[in-house]
Amino acid sequence: MKFILGTGNFKFKYQLKKKKKIKNIEKHNIIKKANELNFTFFDTSPDYGEAESIIGKEVSKKKQIITKTSKSIKKINAELILQKVKNSFRRLRREQVYGILIHDLEDFNKNQNEYLKAVALIKLRGLAVKTGISLYTSNDLFKLIKIWTPDFIQLPYNIIDRRIENLNFLKLIKKNKIDLHVRSIFFKGLLTNENLKVKKLSKWNKIFTSWFKWCNKNNISPYNACISFVLNNKQINKIVLGTDSEYQLKQIINFKKKKVKFPNFKLKNKFLLNPSLWS
């Protein structure tokens, strides 16, 4: 299974339609359902509220965990980074995880030497099988690769945001044997909820309308279409799926891959592709 259960919305309101945070009972139900659906990978972070603790209690040691370094407010050192990783392990009830992602590129750039030391120590001490970094654009990797080659990276990707399809980027990850994990495949819910509108994105309403018309014409649910589109990209190793409820997780996972010709939106507007600017 290429899917990773993402737990970012256990604390943050990633989907635009959400008015309230997920209740604790629902968080437990989501993890329980993910176990029943044979999810092998779980993506979490010390910054995702109680996500690490819930996973530690309810996810088998046979499952694979990816957690992240905690975002720092001030300058940090390698030992402090490692201490925070060990705190994550305590909550996760593990001595080793599959992967550790540096959570923020800007944070990495401010504390570059210390992060590089920490990554080396994580590998040396066998704390993680792979180390990597969460990025915002494929262009970020071209600068990063000059000083460090991560084992894996995580980037946004969906029918609207197709920046990772850049040939130079794909050649770079292939050459350096970097695993590609993608997130935001539903584009904050704008690709799955036809009634969801963002005032600042009104100039692109026709694009979203045409997307839902295309789904209807091809008799495919928006969830199914989003997942099928991403699965068509053979360069992708893993797909992070976020969900608000047990019911929604069942909807997402009960898809049937369809071979269809997808519309070619491929938009490059920086405002549209950066959700942090929409609010």
On the question of pLDDT at 259 being above 90, the answer is: no
Provide the pLDDT for residue 23: 86
Phi, psi of 120 (to 5 degrees): -60, -40
Given phi > 0 = left and psi -120 to 50 = alpha, else beta, which region is 49? left
Contacts of residue 137, defined as CB under 8 A and 6 or more positions apart, other chains included, come to 155, 163
Provide the pLDDT for residue 73: 63
pLDDT level of residue 11 (50, 70, 90 thresholds): confident
| Total residues belonging to the chain | 279
Provide the pLDDT for residue 164: 96
pLDDT level of residue 174 (50, 70, 90 thresholds): very high
pLDDT level of residue 43 (50, 70, 90 thresholds): very high
**pLDDT digits 0-9 by tens, 50-100:** 999 999 999 999 999 999 998 766 778 999 999 999 999 999 999 999 999
pLDDT level of residue 4 (50, 70, 90 thresholds): very high
d(CA 252, CA 259) in angstroms, rounded, equals 18
Provide the pLDDT for residue 160: 95
Q: For residue 227, which of 197, 195, 262 has the smallest C-alpha distance? A: 262
Provide the pLDDT for residue 114: 94
Lowest mean pLDDT among 51-60, 86-95, 248-257, 266-275: 248-257
**pLDDT digits 0-9 by tens, 131-170:** 999 999 999 999 999 999 999 999 999 999 999 999 999 9
Domain containing 191: what range?
3-277
CATH number at 145 reads: 3.20.20.100
d(CA 81, CA 103) in angstroms, rounded, equals 12
**pLDDT digits 0-9 by tens, 185-241:** 999 999 999 999 898 999 999 999 999 999 999 999 999 999 999 999 999 999 999
On the question of pLDDT at 266 being above 80, the answer is: no
On the question of pLDDT at 12 being above 80, the answer is: no
On the question of pLDDT at 107 being above 60, the answer is: yes
d(CA 27, CA 244) in angstroms, rounded, equals 8
| Number of structural domains found in the chain | 1
